Every structure is written in C-alpha cells, then in structure tokens.
Amino acid sequence: MRFASLAFALAASFATSAAGEDISYRTDYSVSLGALPIAKASFFTEINDQNYKISANFRSYGLVDIISRISGESTVSGQLSGQRMRAQHYRLVYQAGKKTSIYDVSYDNGNVTKTTVDPPPKPRSANWIPVTDADLKSVFDPISGLIVPDGEAVCPRTLPIYDGESRMDIVMTPKGTRSFTAGDVEGEAVVCGIRYVPKSGFRKGRKDIEYLRSVTGMEIWFAKTAQLKVYAPVYARVPTRMGTLYVTAVKFDG
C-alpha cells in the first residue's frame, strides 16, 4: 500500500487553471523497473470553475502479471484556491491479486476529518506506529500536492502526505535543470532530489520502509505546462530493493 501510494504520487502530472475556465486534460505515463516495462498510468483532470476532479488508473502488465496483477484506481476532488488545489475527498481502490482494499479520506482546509478503510485493518502489532491527530493536520493527498503554481519555487519544499493509512513527508531539494522529452514534447525540467520520511501508519522495522528511508538517488523532474502554466512531474526515479523504478511521461502538455 505505501509503495503504491508513493508510486501514484510520483506519477501524478495534472493541471489547473484560472478560475472561470472549464478544462479537461489527460496525462499518460510508463512505469519500468530497470529496462523492464511493468505498468502504465493515466490521469484525467476536469476543472469546472472553482472545482476540480482528478481520476487516475494504474495497471501492471507484461511479466509482472505472471507473478501478481496489481492495479489501482484513484480519484481526488476539491476546490481551487488560485492555482493551488485543496482536496476535499480522496479515494483509492488498490488491488493486488485477489485482494482489494479501498481507502476514503475527507479533508477540510488541509486537515483530515474522516478516514474509512474497507476491509477494516486487522489488529496492529506492537511495533506499529499509529497515526495521531497531529499527523492529520495540514496535509496533502498523494496527488494534489505535486502541482506547483507558477511563481513558486518547485524545490526546496516538503510535502506532508496522508494516503488513508500512512503519513509521510516527501522532502525535495534542488538539483538544477535537465532537458526532457515526453512523446513529441521537448523542454527543460526542474530537477528535485527527494527523500522519503515515514512519520506514522507503518510497522517499525519493516524492510521496504527502512530501505526507502535510507536510499539516496531518488529524483523527480517538474516541467511547466504550456496551456495552464503550472509545474507538474514529467519523470521520477526511485531506487528499490528490486532495482530502480522509472516513471516517465509519454503524453504531456509541454
């Protein structure tokens, strides 16, 4: 669940606009483990006046499906404040093999007001770090936080993320600029190094969590959209225990 949420967040590339405009927009990504393609992700954004809705889907394919088919469908909806997205509801339906988990989170002005999980989680072990009320203040959903309004520094910044189970910080530091290609779009991207900081909602000592906490070399690249003038991700690199995960935009409004 935690790795899937991180992958969803890193794959997100959406758009917003000035109030009063109606816009719909789609972004597509490829996901690979090293040189092996393992998944595809698509995001569809709808903006109507002061409201937005983002629908996302993630599907494994190829050799990965032989081991275990993984898929996710996510939606986030809320209101626009200038170019900043303020979520009101986030939902993730995550399926791994025959197991399906559904996470619903309600937000009010950045604060979590309600979380439901179906099926309910089993009793936690003694080394589980619970999410506290303080952890649920001033947080982003895993999607909306990665949209940076024009005029703001893309990095450095820290993104406090809550996905319905875990609370984490994504700490971004500047690493210069790089050229990128996304389909038939070429441009310049702002490169941010990223660090994963788990806060709560996880089992202390879990190997994949500890690996992501300590690993170096994670990056995310942001580029400005041509129509909507916000910064959104076009590329991400995440070292994992199985190899390096790459998320690359193949359709982008550059």
Give the domain extent around 184: 2-251
CB burial class (10 A; 0-12, 13-18, 19+) of residue 20? exposed
**107 has pLDDT over 60:** yes
Task: Report how many domains make up the chain.
Answer: 1
pTM confidence score: 0.85
User: 3-class DSSP state for residue 30?
Assistant: strand
| Least confident window among 4-18, 81-95, 237-251 | 4-18
pLDDT mean across residues, the chain:
86
* Per-residue pLDDT reduced to its tens digit, 27-46: 899 999 998 888 999 988 88
Helix locations, the chain, DSSP H: 2-11, 64-67, 207-214
Sequence-ordered list of residues with C-beta below 8 angstroms from that of 64, at least 6 positions apart, any chain:
38, 39, 70
